[in-house]
Amino acid sequence: MDSHRTNAAVISQPSNFWALDRFFLGLTQGRRPRAGKAFEHVIKVLFNTLGYPYTPQAVINGQPDFLLPSIEHYKNNAMDCIIFTVKRTLRERWRQIITEGTQGHQFFLATIDENVGARDLKQMLRSRIYLVVPESVRMKCYRRVANVITYEGFFLKHLDPAMARWRTDGVIPRG
């Protein structure tokens, strides 16, 4: 009986609740950056494996995760570059993309977030931002949204044509 009272007293102490709350919040916040970095690493491995040229973390007017084909080409012709950023979840952070490459023609944001609101999607469309998501996420959450594309769509309709153009223009080596 005494141990029951002791446990109940410990649990009912507000200071213990807040200490536990801070502890678990710290664990959660510690995992988020690692998950985001892991997602970014997956994209990096994908670009490397498929031979797509990029400058990582280029400092332009912000710091997008990937600038394709290179920072040098961006300095010469920003409108011909692809700005590709990775965010596991968006909330309001998608707005950073606009400042990360205000001279770019269009921006691509890879995410796995299934909860982007219709208002945000419309604002992204007006800002020339495409969400790049897995096919399953697009079909489940964004089936009829024009500026939400799959990875396959990104490569086939945007990156591969840019690669052909960059090769033809001598921006990247033919091969």
**Domain spans of the chain, in order of start:** 35-168
Which tokens in the block code for residue 10?
Answer: 């410990």
- Which pLDDT does position 27 carry in this prediction? 45
- Which pLDDT does position 84 carry in this prediction? 94
pLDDT band at 54 (very low <50, low <70, confident <90, very high): very high
Res 106 pLDDT > 90: no
- Which pLDDT does position 75 carry in this prediction? 93
91 compared with 25, residue with greater pLDDT: 91
The overall average pLDDT reported for the chain is 82
- Which pLDDT does position 17 carry in this prediction? 52
Res 122 pLDDT > 80: yes
Q: What are the DSSP E strand ranges found in 55-175?
A: 55-56, 66-68, 82-86, 107-110, 129-133, 148-150
Fold observed for domain 35-168 = Restriction Endonuclease (3.40.91)
- Which pLDDT does position 152 carry in this prediction? 95
pTM of this structure: 0.76
- Which pLDDT does position 102 carry in this prediction? 59
Type of residue found at 47: F
Type of residue found at 102: T
53 upstream amide cis, omega within 30 of 0: no
- Which pLDDT does position 19 carry in this prediction? 53
pLDDT band at 98 (very low <50, low <70, confident <90, very high): low
pLDDT tens digits along 3-49: 455 555 445 555 555 554 555 555 455 444 555 678 889 899 999 99
Type of residue found at 103: Q
- Which pLDDT does position 14 carry in this prediction? 53
